[in-house]
Structure 1
């Protein structure tokens, strides 16, 4: 009998395939976030590579993962810079497609003195990552041991990836961000879902503000057919639910400078740990530590740690 790995040509070095967005982040840091109609002076400006898909791919690669990215960029300076940066991180870019009609995605990010942020995204080429692109990338999806996906690309593309990956019994990890509703018919195909408190509330209708409310939200997600759930709770920490058990992982005590990409770092790190054979609790602890380092630095990809830093 042909072994599963041989049949689907899965590499011995487990492949993490991230399907998602690629942006350039334009960040302004000021003492406070502006109210509607208000202008805030005294900000510091930074321009960094970002996008949830790209951030998660960089995090996974920087922390030791064997990573490929399926994404779409514009035929412009931002897009070309992104490709160069991905290659420098050791990420497989064979399936980062170019859109000759739309510009690369851009995110405008404001960060206050406590590290909280607000973000507006102009999706650009990300909005044209479609089913035909996923069909071109079938080979790499079949080779994957873990497929990580988020919501900064069209929902029909997300659903198509889930449907295709489930046909090959792939481990699918969903970060449902930015907060949107995924049709419940796809939820049972998800191996692991990683929402933050806002996304958990949208999925369940339960306001998440502490451990007990997070447990209730996780229970509700389980009722919807989700098998493994990790809710990230910012400065509180992380709640893991699996097989009807809840596990609390407290946050590391750090001074937050910028929370941008903390969730993306968590997801990328989680995939690396799982691909190395760690159980879900150990993987969540590893990811929790990685994201705690990210919030102590400005920027998205520039704030993501490497594996050596987690061993210190």
Structure 2
């Protein structure tokens, strides 16, 4: 058993101040690389609704057995939560990020606000409760397997739609290019999504797993990024490619769905409308296998290959006009791989940027993979998140 004293939570404000070093170290890189970057998107305000919190990360040589007592090799306290992480990533990439969530007026909550504001995330729409506790998560990082185990404690009291007034809802959506939800705070997220849908603001959903309220949000969404297990769990399809076809069939508003596959990169299915779709019907599984055969396994940097626009069939489920894109992940040397916590959130933050910048999928997927890989080179979900002018991103932005 790993013993982490509850008093560690009271150290949050001090722990959060450590990011100042990262800001100073990155300033020179930003200045040196900015001249070679394309201009920022004109419409680049993203509104996120979902989880924020404090992450208490303990690294261990190997994951403990039941009733073990072991020592951590390092300890880090920093901001967390899917929405908080994804919007921090988006802000570092140059987007105007706004966040709707709920915290308590405690040491953890004040640390959460401080770190988000230091990364230029707009926290003016966060709800701060005078009582209760802010969310926090214990994370055990296994140095041997490079995996992490999370133990989450939700915030209290939970956020409800009445916490957000009509005037604040409209103000939060003003000028927004895209809405994002991690499906936490699902009742509030649904109210925001319904209003966004009425005024024509598209939405991206992080479908990490089946959650309460997810189906209602999926019916309103334009884009989905999901975990490897989600598509088959949600559709009961026999394979991932078939499941993605099924998702487009079940969700007529959906423009694309991306499933992240860890070391195997990602697979995206984009809906095709209009001319250019081949009349011949092709099996989704067969197209996926063909794409895998075309991968250049010798390249260490992220790449992307695509199918033609096809009539893609899923076994007994139906046919959709679409195009597959297979994105590869960066091959990170074992000596550089530190922690995968928040890699999916980093990927989503980059996808939000790509949508605002009107990136085609062939550019979006390698860019998002590179951002996610950068986050894996440091402990915690935010320490390694790159800024837009970091040299490793510049080739993917031009």
TM-score by length of 1: 0.87
Q: 1:241 aligns with which of 236, 250, 269?
A: 269
Does the 8 Å contact 2:104/2:130 carry over to 1?
Answer: yes
Asked which structure has the greater CA Rg, the reply is 2
Return closer, same or farther for 1:94/1:286 CA change in 2, 3 Å cut-off. same
CA distance in 2, matches of 1:179, 1:94: 30
CA distance in 2, matches of 1:283, 1:131: 37
Aligned to 1:71: 101
Shift of 1:200: 2.6
**Counterparts of 1:78-227 in structure 2 under 5 Å?**
78-113=108-143, 114-125=145-156, 127-133=158-164, 135=166, 136-151=168-183, 153-177=184-208, 179-180=210-211, 182=213, 184-206=215-237, 213-225=239-251, 226-227=254-255
CA deviations on 1:257-293 (whole Å, 9 max, x unpaired) are 2111101111111111211221234222211110011
Return closer, same or farther for 1:34/1:302 CA change in 2, 3 Å cut-off. same
CA distance in 1, matches of 2:265, 2:235: 20
Q: Would you say 1:257 and 2:338 are equivalent positions?
A: yes
Does the 8 Å contact 1:142/1:165 carry over to 2?
Answer: no
Q: Which runs of 5+ in 1 are unaligned?
A: 1-10, 208-212
CA distance in 1, matches of 2:362, 2:165: 31
Moved more, 171-180 or 74-83: 171-180
CA distance in 1, matches of 2:66, 2:256: 39
**Counterparts of 1:25-44 in structure 2 under 5 Å?**
25-44=55-74
CA deviations on 1:223-282 (whole Å, 9 max, x unpaired) are 211331000111110111102211100111003321111011111111112112212342
TM-score by length of 2: 0.69
Return closer, same or farther for 1:42/1:28 CA change in 2, 3 Å cut-off. closer
CA distance in 1, matches of 2:265, 2:127: 36
Aligned to 1:5: none
Does the 8 Å contact 1:105/1:122 carry over to 2?
Answer: yes
Q: 2:82 aligns with which of 37, 45, 52?
A: 52
Shift of 1:125: 4.3
Q: Which runs of 5+ in 2 are unaligned?
A: 1-40, 272-321
User: How many residues get paired?
Assistant: 296
- The ranges of structure 1 where at least 4 consecutive aligned residues each deviate by more than 6 angstroms after the TM superposition are none
Shift of 1:44: 2.2
Moved more, 190-199 or 121-130: 121-130
Aligned to 1:292: 373
CA distance in 2, matches of 1:183, 1:60: 23
CA distance in 2, matches of 1:150, 1:183: 9
Return closer, same or farther for 1:252/1:112 CA change in 2, 3 Å cut-off. same
Does the 8 Å contact 1:184/1:224 carry over to 2?
Answer: no
Shift of 1:148: 0.9
Return closer, same or farther for 1:142/1:68 CA change in 2, 3 Å cut-off. same
Aligned to 2:22: none
Shift of 1:138: 2.2
Shift of 1:52: 0.9
CA deviations on 1:22-61 (whole Å, 9 max, x unpaired) are 1010011112333454444444221111111111110000
Q: 2:382 aligns with which of 281, 301, 306?
A: 301
Does the 8 Å contact 2:101/2:159 carry over to 1?
Answer: no
